[in-house]
Amino acid sequence: MNTESNSYTFLFAALMVLVVASTLAFTASSLKTKQDENVRKEKMQSILKTIGINTSRDGAEELYIKHIKEEFSLDQKGNIDDSVSAFSIKLIREIKKPISDQRFPVFIAEVKDERYYVIPLRGAGLWDAIWGYVALRDDKNTIEGIIFDHKGETAGLGAEISQQWFQDLFKEEKLFDIQGNLVGINVSKTNNDPKNLDKDDHEVDAISGATITGDGVSDMILERMRHYLPYFNKLDI
Amino acid sequence: MSKESNKSINKKKSSLLFINKEREPLFSKKNRVLLTDPLDDNNPITVQVLGICSALAITVQLEPAVVMSLSVVAVMGASNVIVSLLRNLIPNRIRIIVQLVVVASMVVLVDQILKAYAYDVYKELSIFIGLIITNCIVMGRLEAFALGNNVWRSFLDGIGNAAGYGLILIVVAFFRELFGSGKLYGFQVIPESVYDLGYENNGLMLLSPMALIIVGIYIWFQRSKNRKLIEKN
């Protein structure tokens, strides 16, 4: 067989593309339900973790139903829009819509009679997207817990934002200053409080070598929380 | 068709797959060299200077380095076998494309299966797994070895080269994690009391240039032990 002829080359290429494409398409579609299930349970797991409940992925669903009392999505003006399920909102798609079409999910959790507001976050790190969830106490100001994850930050540097020690720095930090303005949390390289004892300074210590990821975290918190101001203002009246 | 001609066709068929029909033992000396040579004398990173880019990128911590090494072992073993099986069928003019398609589909397959059945490992690894496609060692071995050797030898060559690559990755990651963050495999190994005495983690270790310097020191060390690697002139 002449493997150098044009017709053989074309035939080989066509056959190869067919075989590879159908193998990959078959694998992807037959594994899809299992994969989606993993993603869904991981989301529940993440939301639970912000309110201090650590669970395995398999146990997440049960605890989620137990602790998450309400889920709803808000429009730009802070009104609840019942037509959109909060859990199914994917911020990756949502933030690309015009602001008036965007919906902002809120999860209300209850642990030992304490009420928490869990809000999903999404922003940009150095290489790719970063995201997370923040749980606020009933004053809608103090952070009860926060978690971050990332797609492609550098291991050992930016990727450290998904580590417990970094997320613990945010605990009990305040989002609003005394005048009630939203200032967010600054991941700061010039933090005067490296032991993080001052919980009212709106600052946490940055990670060396991960300046841009840290700035991304600060920006993400401020940007996402801004959209919830109308809702919080309504609650306070 | 006579029995004899049938036999000869069979023989021809099998020799397509296994050129060495002389019943060479599976781990003959010649084959063992395929596994051990890339660990030292012909190391893909320190001697052939391939795969440097990922050696810089993922050696900040030991754990991703180990996992990356294992994934490269799997991908290289499998893709070397596939390309070796097809080596007499692949048209010469599009062989690079074919190799790339084989590697890429192996990587995507591994990625998808992990996402469904080992989600935690997948989350840890997904970015690194994508990086394997661009690892020059994989394509380099397909082109230089699997296209011209039988399946078993290609398999050994793939595993050996991936192990040589992994060895350097792990050595570099060991020093970078130890001196950069005082940990090994995520566990604190430098005790708090040492820090109290004024010891500080070396932040420079976390940045890529130090990986290059550690690889350089490794090459120096390797050549001082193994004189035949030193180039004349």
Nearest to B58 among A12, A57, A155 (CB): A155
Q: Residue B2: what pLDDT?
A: 47
Contact at CB, A155 and B98, closer than 8 angstroms:
no
Quickly state the pLDDT bin for B21 (edges 50, 70, 90): low
Residue type, A126: L
Within a domain: B57: yes
Q: Residue A144: what pLDDT?
A: 93
Other beta carbons within 10 Å of A31: 17
Considering only residues 76 to 105 of chain B, which have any Cβ-Cβ distance to chain A shorter than 8 Å? 88-94, 97-98, 101, 105
- The tens digit of pLDDT for each residue in B152-184 reads 999 999 999 999 999 999 999 999 999 998 989
Q: How many CA atoms lie within 13 A of B155 on its CB side?
A: 11
CA distance A78 to A84: 14
**Is B206 part of the contact surface with chain A (CB cutoff 8 Å)?**
yes
Within a domain: B41: yes
- The tens digit of pLDDT for each residue in A131-171 reads 999 999 998 899 999 999 998 888 778 888 998 889 999 99
Average pLDDT for chain B: 85
Pairs of residues, one from chain A and one from chain B, whose beta carbons lie less than 8 Å apart: 73
Considering only residues 70 to 99 of chain A, which have any Cβ-Cβ distance to chain B shorter than 8 Å? none
**Is B60 part of the contact surface with chain A (CB cutoff 8 Å)?**
yes
The reported pTM is: 0.72
- The tens digit of pLDDT for each residue in B5-18 reads 555 555 555 545 55
Within a domain: B210: yes
Alpha helices in chain B (DSSP H): 3-17, 29-36, 52-57, 62-85, 95-117, 119-132, 136-144, 151-181, 192-196, 208-225
Q: Which domain holds residue B47?
A: 30-222
Burial readout B89-123 (b: 16 or more C-beta within 10 A, e: otherwise):
ebbeebbeebbebbbbbbbbbbbbebbbeebeebe
**Is B112 part of the contact surface with chain A (CB cutoff 8 Å)?**
yes
Q: Residue B233: what pLDDT?
A: 67
Within a domain: B5: no
- Chunked into runs of 10 residues, chain A (237 residues) has average pLDDT values of 88 94 94 92 91 86 90 89 86 88 91 91 92 92 92 84 91 89 89 78 88 94 92 81
Give contacts of B116 with chain A, Cβ < 8 Å: 31, 34-35, 38
Q: Are strands B183-184 and A203-205 parallel, antiparallel or unpaired?
A: unpaired
In this model, does residue B114 exceed pLDDT 50?
yes
β-bridge partners, A20? none
CA distance A41 to B51: 37
In this model, does residue B97 exceed pLDDT 80?
yes
| Structural domain total, chain B | 1
Give contacts of B210 with chain A, Cβ < 8 Å: none
Contact at CB, B203 and A209, closer than 8 angstroms:
yes
